[in-house]
């Protein structure tokens, strides 16, 4: 289960419940290049692996599209223990293991990562939260779009369709959970993104849909494109 969401500018500051916001910290690019002149985007990870952390394909797609869009990216994760460690070959918890969310997320960031407690909204134009069960287990006890629904009353988000449709949308019930929080769920296809212009929140279904990987990649691309457009306004 996964979905991707982003907050832009003023709503990034309003959503400070996601993490304590402290003083400015130097931004570290994913690679060793100089800072880029584009939008400044914080990418918030929750581990490494779909069942107990960040969904890797989603995180990678976000980074690819941000790079293509000329964004300056800084990657964050909380310096806390994972809720548990899942053996991804079995889909079951590994009782004898413990791992740290920041340390595991550093695998995706190629080592260039900052403690989430040091994120300052003043230093970024937007924040993006890839999906994966780690968003529920290690961040705020819910999947990525539900983070927005819990923090921003009346926000509009999408997790795709509202019916399972023969298994194509196996997590369609999440839409009802979003509505129960007072948010509006907007039906979108997997290659689409929904923009809440008022709250400056952008979401896409991603792995909420059982489909081919390139469709997931395209949907995340649509989401990143909309985020960068909002950053330029």
Active-site positions read 142
The residue with tokens 């009782």 is 95
**What is the rounded distance in angstroms from the CA atom of residue 144 to the CA atom of residue 134?**
10
Q: How many CA atoms lie within 13 A of 223 on its CB side?
A: 39
**What is the rounded distance in angstroms from the CA atom of residue 56 to the CA atom of residue 146?**
19
**What is the rounded distance in angstroms from the CA atom of residue 180 to the CA atom of residue 165?**
22
Q: What's 154's DSSP letter?
A: T
CB 57 within 8 A of CB 221: no
Tokens in use for 37? 């002149």
**What is the rounded distance in angstroms from the CA atom of residue 23 to the CA atom of residue 122?**
9
């Amino acid at each position: 289960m996964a979905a991707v969401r982003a907050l832009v500018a003023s709503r990034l500051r309003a959503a400070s419940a996601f993490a304590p916001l402290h003083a400015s910290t130097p931004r570290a690019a994913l690679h060793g290049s100089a800072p880029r002149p584009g939008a400044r985007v914080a990418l918030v990870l929750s581990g490494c692996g779909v069942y107990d952390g960040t969904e890797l394909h989603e995180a990678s797609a976000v980074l690819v599209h941000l790079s293509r869009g000329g964004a300056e990216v800084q990657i964050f994760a909380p310096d806390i223990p994972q809720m548990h460690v899942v053996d991804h070959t079995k889909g079951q918890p590994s009782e004898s293991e413990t791992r740290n969310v920041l340390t595991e997320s550093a695998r995706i960031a190629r080592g260039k990562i900052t403690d989430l407690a040091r994120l300052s909204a003043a230093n970024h134009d937007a924040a993006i939260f890839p999906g994966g069960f780690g968003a529920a287990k290690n961040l705020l006890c819910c999947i990525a779009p539900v983070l927005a629904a819990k923090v921003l009353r009346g926000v509009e988000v999408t997790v795709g369709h509202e019916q399972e449709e023969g298994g194509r949308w196996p997590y369609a019930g999440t839409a009802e959970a979003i509505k129960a929080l007072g948010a509006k769920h907007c039906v979108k296809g997997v290659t689409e993104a929904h923009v809440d212009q008022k709250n400056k929140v952008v979401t896409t279904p991603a792995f909420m849909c059982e489909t081919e990987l390139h469709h997931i990649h395209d949907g995340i691309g649509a989401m990143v494109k909309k985020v960068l457009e909002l950053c330029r306004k």
